[in-house]
A and B are shown apart, each in its own frame.
Chain A
Amino acid sequence: MVSENLQKVDLSQDWDVLVIGGGNAALCAAMTAQENGARVLLLEGAPKTSRGGNSRHTRNLRYMHRKANSHLTGPYHEDEFWDDLLRVTKGETNEDLARLTIRQSEDIGLWMADHGCIFQPSMRGTLSLSHTNGFFLGGGKALVNSYYLTAEKLGVKILYEAMVNNLNIRDGRFESAELTIGEKHHSVSAKSIVVASGGFQANLDWLKRYWGDAAENFIVRGTPFNRGRMLEVLLENKAKPAGDERQCHAVAIDARAPKFDGGIVTRLDCVPFGVVVNRDAVRFYDEGEDFWPKRYAIWGRLVAQQPNQIAYSIIDSKSINLFMPSVFPPIQADSLQELASKLELEPKTLQSTIQIFNDAVQTGDFDSSILDNCTTKGLNIPKSHWARAIDTPPFYGYPLRPGITFTYLGVAINQNAQVLMQDEKPFKNIFAAGEVMAGNILGQGYLAGFGMTIGTVFGRIAGKEAALCR
């Protein structure tokens, strides 16, 4: 299939725009560059069946709009958008680039629809975001499929399993890219390049630089292909970094998840309804501090700091139906002792941890929809809300591990999506879009559907600007 693919593409010609990556940002850049008259070659490292990077795990995109439309309610103005971003990043953002992203996102749904995206009206599960985020019918992979079809129709040439290993950059100019397809090595030259190949979160060796051996126990929620090679090459060529290299977005997910590509289904929403203990069967953080969507990212880090990077959420039968079902069934037992042995925890310690917790629980009116008054009293590690005694068998346990969504380190860019050198001067013909530059705007935290906004906006900017380098 790879060679069949290659026959249709002449690698020896001098391309106008080379796009590295095959997710949302790469596709937006490729389609835009082609529409601006450039001859575009897109190099996707993954095989066709796994194409699309992390975009295939997404479901929606946040965009500014002044009026309700077929899939969004009410207005979502720049100021509200900006406030939302400021709240999650706590100021760790480049305001110029952030406001550019927000403004350029206005009614971007129309452009997306023109390029094959189908939005769906809000449904049961998506109502909470219906004011801010447009949902793709069928999710991110369906979106990516449509974009590939549109890109091909426009004339973009696409190669799968095309792994770019190096970029030849001289005097601040990109000249050619070195890549392997199958076993074969190729060199491709182009007048400009758009790097849209994601972060390095699937590169555990790189993560180990900051996390040590603990990184071995991390689960990568997205594609195994985001190994950060292009990011590394750009940094080696004196690109200016953006975003904290040590930081990653990590959430607590089911420890039984596949090492890579587990995506949405491995998330667990049970934490606020029970207690969480570590390998030593002791609690280590307030499980009821706030609503889960506001806390799950903290828990990735918390679990990462526990011995062996593992923890167990323990609930009883009162709570089993209070949260979204998840992909793996809970480990079930009729007594805490039995549960402890199934989870390979010290039974006596677990029983005592639960006993102490149960004794500290105050009577209150349990209500999972509000920050209720069910709390504990007298514990070193309190549970602030939704605290109920764990006393009604069967008991359930879910193992938790840190699941990495993305890394924050990227390359600094300017408003034209040009990659900046360490002296702030731009590389003339090197552009970046998507996760590889998202750290400029999303310095910390996470805003649902905003990664796709950054990818779409800067993919389009990069595509347009790259097409001008002819």
Chain B
Amino acid sequence: MSLETLKEAKRIMEICNSCRYCEGFCAVYPAMELRRTFRDDDLKFLANLCHNCRDCYYACQYAPPHEFKINVPQTFAELRLNTYQQAAAPKIFKGMFNNNGKMVFIVHILSILIVWAATLLFQNSEQIFGTHLGPNAFFQVISYSMMVVPISILSVLLMAGMLMSFNNFWQMIGGKRQELMDFGSHRQAIKDALSLKYLSGGGHGCNYPDEHFSKIRRNFHHATFYGFMLCFASTISAALYHHFLHLPSPYPIFSFPVLSGSIGGLALLIGTSGLLYLKTRMDPEPASENTAGMDFGFLISLFLTSLTGLLLLILRETPLMGSLLVIHIGVVVGLFITMPYGKFVHGIYRYAALVRNANEQAKEAS
């Protein structure tokens, strides 16, 4: 944990708290106003409540070159990265956040290579490079158990890692167990999260990629998030079809798994490319160089997941299906492994901060 970053966050919040001009933008400033002094847990909570909309940076009369050098989005981005690292469990995975972009890249390459190697090991090349039509086509390349068993084990392990990390995080931001049990706080937090309420600068958009107010980033984020959820739903429904309806894949175009998967994949493709494009165009001043690798890594991983998935759908009746399936599964495994140890956690932790915030503000109101 970088003490410098914490110190800087404290310095900034003390100045912000004696100004308060930004209180209309998002949840961070009203939460800040509930405090006079800032403990480490307060700062980590506020940093994760920040949605990085940058409105406060452009509105700040104390932003650089002013000698106060207030840069809330940059400082909080760095502090968030520190909290991700500090919360990561088991401990040996903390290193994943040291150079996250590179780590995510390596994990993906390894995943693809391992899936390839395993496929080559257990399958003859005629099967891999052949054309497969009809029921269970995918399993002609990678057998059902080879596909489901390792991924299920991996999922369970990663879920456990995520839960442990979340537990660490919740304690780190000063959260209490009973706050987590408060239904009303969750209801509010879900509303705030699903609408990205605080990525909208009091309803007028973020200052992203530059000083103009714009909703473009929020729209791309929505496409990414809901696209991801649709893909998730597609995967779950396919599993249900297979196990309970005993319907073997591949499914027809107008089935739920394929429809939700293709719409979701398309949305994910558009959302992630949009966010990636905006990143290359954004004003670098309010950004943190330290988080760039992590941000790009996650977006590219999601982009490749959707791209390979869609290609697989389009080319599933050609000899390329086998290779694409292997690459797609490889990318998905890479995405899975890096989820608790990469940018994905921002969603979970920001949700936790929103719960804490809803709880706090409700107490304040009563």
Contact = CB atoms under 8 A, between A and B. Distances in A.
A107 to B, nearest CB: 21
5 contacts: A120-B24, A123-B30, A145-B58, A265-B19, A329-B14
Nearest to A118: B204
- What are the 5 tightest A-B residue pairs by CB atom distance, in nearest-first order? A138-B59, A139-B21, A120-B24, A142-B59, A265-B18
B253 to A, nearest CB: 46
B18 A264 contact: yes
Contacts of B14: 325, 327, 329
A327 B18 contact: yes
A265 B67 CA distance: 13
Contact of B66 (A135, A149, A261): A261
Interface in A119-164: 120-121, 123-125, 135, 137-142, 145, 149
Nearest to B36: A325
State which size class the interface on A falls in: 20 to 34
B69 to A, nearest CB: 12
A149, A258, A325: which has the most chain B beta carbons within 10 Å?
A325
B78 interface: no
Given A57-B61, A138-B55, A139-B59, A124 B19 contact: no
A223 B58 CA distance: 17
A470 to B, nearest CB: 32
B23 interface: yes
A329 B25 CA distance: 26
A135 B19 CA distance: 14
Contacts of A149: 211-212
B59 to A, nearest CB: 3
A118 B202 contact: yes
Contacts of B33: 124-125
B65 interface: yes
B62 interface: yes
Contact of B23 (A50, A124, A327): A124
B17 interface: yes
Interface in A195-214: none
A267 B20 CA distance: 13
A386 B59 CA distance: 37
A149 B14 CA distance: 31
A124 B60 CA distance: 20
B15, B56, B59, B201: which has the most chain A beta carbons within 10 Å?
B59
Given A138-B55, A258-B67, A264 B19 contact: yes
Contacts of B64: 49
A59 B211 contact: no
A321 interface: yes
B53 to A, nearest CB: 11
Q: Is the interface of B mostly helix, strand, loop or mixed?
A: loop
Nearest to A140: B61
A125 B23 contact: yes
B73 to A, nearest CB: 14
Interface in A250-265: 258, 261, 263-265
Given A264-B19, A327-B14, 6 more contacts: A57-B61, A138-B55, A140-B21, A141-B59, A265-B15, A265-B62
Given A124-B30, A265-B19, A325-B17, A139 B204 contact: no
B55 A56 contact: no
A123, A264, A327: which has the most chain B beta carbons within 10 Å?
A327
Nearest to B56: A138
Interface of B: 14-15, 17-25, 30, 33, 36, 55-56, 58-68, 201-202, 204, 211-213
B192 to A, nearest CB: 18
B212 A139 contact: no
A124 B211 CA distance: 27
Nearest to A254: B18
B61 A139 contact: yes
A258 B15 CA distance: 13
Contacts of B30: 123-124
A138 B66 contact: no
A237 interface: no
Contacts of A125: 20, 23, 33
Nearest to A321: B36
Contacts of B36: 321, 325
A61 to B, nearest CB: 14
Given A57-B61, A118-B204, A145-B59, A138 B18 contact: no
A121 B36 CA distance: 24
Contacts of A135: 24
A50, A56, A142, A263: which has the most chain B beta carbons within 10 Å?
A142
A145 B24 contact: no
A267 B19 CA distance: 10
A321 B36 CA distance: 8
A326 interface: yes
Nearest to B212: A149
Contact of A139 (B17, B18, B22, B65): B22
Contacts of A265: 15, 18-19, 62, 68
A356 interface: no
B86 to A, nearest CB: 27
Contacts of B24: 120-121, 123, 135, 137-138
A50 B62 CA distance: 10
A231 B20 CA distance: 33
Contact of B202 (A56, A59, A120, A325): A120
A59 B61 CA distance: 11
Nearest to B37: A325
A304 to B, nearest CB: 23
A321 to B, nearest CB: 6
A324 interface: yes
B18 A49 contact: no
Contacts of B25: 137-138
A142 B25 CA distance: 11
A300 to B, nearest CB: 18
A265 B11 CA distance: 13
Nearest to A125: B20
Contacts of A261: 61, 66-67
